Protein backbone atom coordinates (compact mmCIF):
# COMPACT_ATOMS: atom_id res chain seq x y z
CA UNK A 1 0.00 0.00 0.00
CA UNK A 2 1.37 3.40 -0.92
CA UNK A 3 1.08 6.53 1.17
CA UNK A 4 -1.59 8.01 -1.14
CA UNK A 5 -4.07 5.16 -0.53
CA UNK A 6 -6.38 5.73 2.45
CA UNK A 7 -6.35 3.27 5.31
CA UNK A 8 -9.23 0.74 5.17
CA UNK A 9 -10.05 1.35 8.85
CA UNK A 10 -10.34 5.07 8.18
CA UNK A 11 -12.75 4.44 5.30
CA UNK A 12 -14.80 2.03 7.40
CA UNK A 13 -15.22 4.63 10.14
CA UNK A 14 -16.15 7.28 7.58
CA UNK A 15 -18.85 5.01 6.10
CA UNK A 16 -20.15 4.26 9.59
CA UNK A 17 -20.21 7.98 10.31
CA UNK A 18 -22.28 8.60 7.17
CA UNK A 19 -24.77 5.92 8.21
CA UNK A 20 -25.09 7.51 11.65
CA UNK A 21 -25.58 10.97 10.18
CA UNK A 22 -28.21 9.58 7.81
CA UNK A 23 -30.06 7.90 10.68
CA UNK A 24 -29.96 11.14 12.68
CA UNK A 25 -31.33 13.20 9.82
CA UNK A 26 -34.04 10.66 9.03
CA UNK A 27 -35.08 10.47 12.69
CA UNK A 28 -35.10 14.24 13.00
CA UNK A 29 -37.30 14.59 9.94
CA UNK A 30 -39.58 11.75 11.02
CA UNK A 31 -40.09 13.31 14.44
CA UNK A 32 -40.65 16.67 12.78
CA UNK A 33 -43.48 15.24 10.70
CA UNK A 34 -45.22 13.94 13.81
CA UNK A 35 -44.74 17.23 15.63
CA UNK A 36 -45.85 19.33 12.67
CA UNK A 37 -48.53 16.78 11.68
CA UNK A 38 -47.34 16.66 8.07
CA UNK A 39 -48.95 14.44 5.47
CA UNK A 40 -46.92 11.93 3.46
CA UNK A 41 -46.42 14.24 0.44
CA UNK A 42 -45.35 17.08 2.73
CA UNK A 43 -42.91 14.74 4.48
CA UNK A 44 -41.48 13.66 1.11
CA UNK A 45 -41.02 17.28 0.04
CA UNK A 46 -39.27 18.12 3.32
CA UNK A 47 -37.06 15.01 3.15
CA UNK A 48 -36.21 15.59 -0.52
CA UNK A 49 -35.38 19.24 0.05
CA UNK A 50 -33.10 18.50 2.97
CA UNK A 51 -31.45 15.66 1.04
CA UNK A 52 -30.81 17.92 -1.95
CA UNK A 53 -29.30 20.59 0.30
CA UNK A 54 -27.02 18.07 2.01
CA UNK A 55 -25.90 16.62 -1.34
CA UNK A 56 -25.08 20.12 -2.57
CA UNK A 57 -22.97 20.80 0.53
CA UNK A 58 -21.04 17.54 0.06
CA UNK A 59 -20.56 18.24 -3.66
CA UNK A 60 -19.08 21.65 -2.89
CA UNK A 61 -16.80 20.20 -0.21
CA UNK A 62 -15.54 17.42 -2.49
CA UNK A 63 -15.08 19.73 -5.47
CA UNK A 64 -12.62 21.79 -3.39
CA UNK A 65 -10.53 18.69 -2.60
CA UNK A 66 -9.53 17.86 -6.19
CA UNK A 67 -6.06 16.44 -6.58
User: Which pLDDT score is estimated for 52?
Assistant: 85
Instruction: State pLDDT tens for residues 16-61.
Output: 888 888 888 888 877 877 888 878 888 788 888 888 888 888 788 8
Q: Which domain holds residue 60?
A: 8-64
pLDDT grade, residue 66 (50/70/90)? Answer: low
Does residue 1 belong to any structural domain of this protein? no
In our burial notation (b when 16+ CB lie closer than 10 A, e otherwise), range 24-63 reads eeeeebeeebeeeebeeeebeeebeeeeeeeeeeeeeeee
Does residue 47 belong to any structural domain of this protein? yes
Domain count for the chain:
1
Does residue 3 belong to any structural domain of this protein? no
pTM, full prediction: 0.53
Does residue 2 belong to any structural domain of this protein? no
pLDDT grade, residue 7 (50/70/90)? Answer: confident
Amino acid sequence: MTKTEPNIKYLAFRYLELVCIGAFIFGFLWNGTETLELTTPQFMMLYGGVGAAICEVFARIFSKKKV
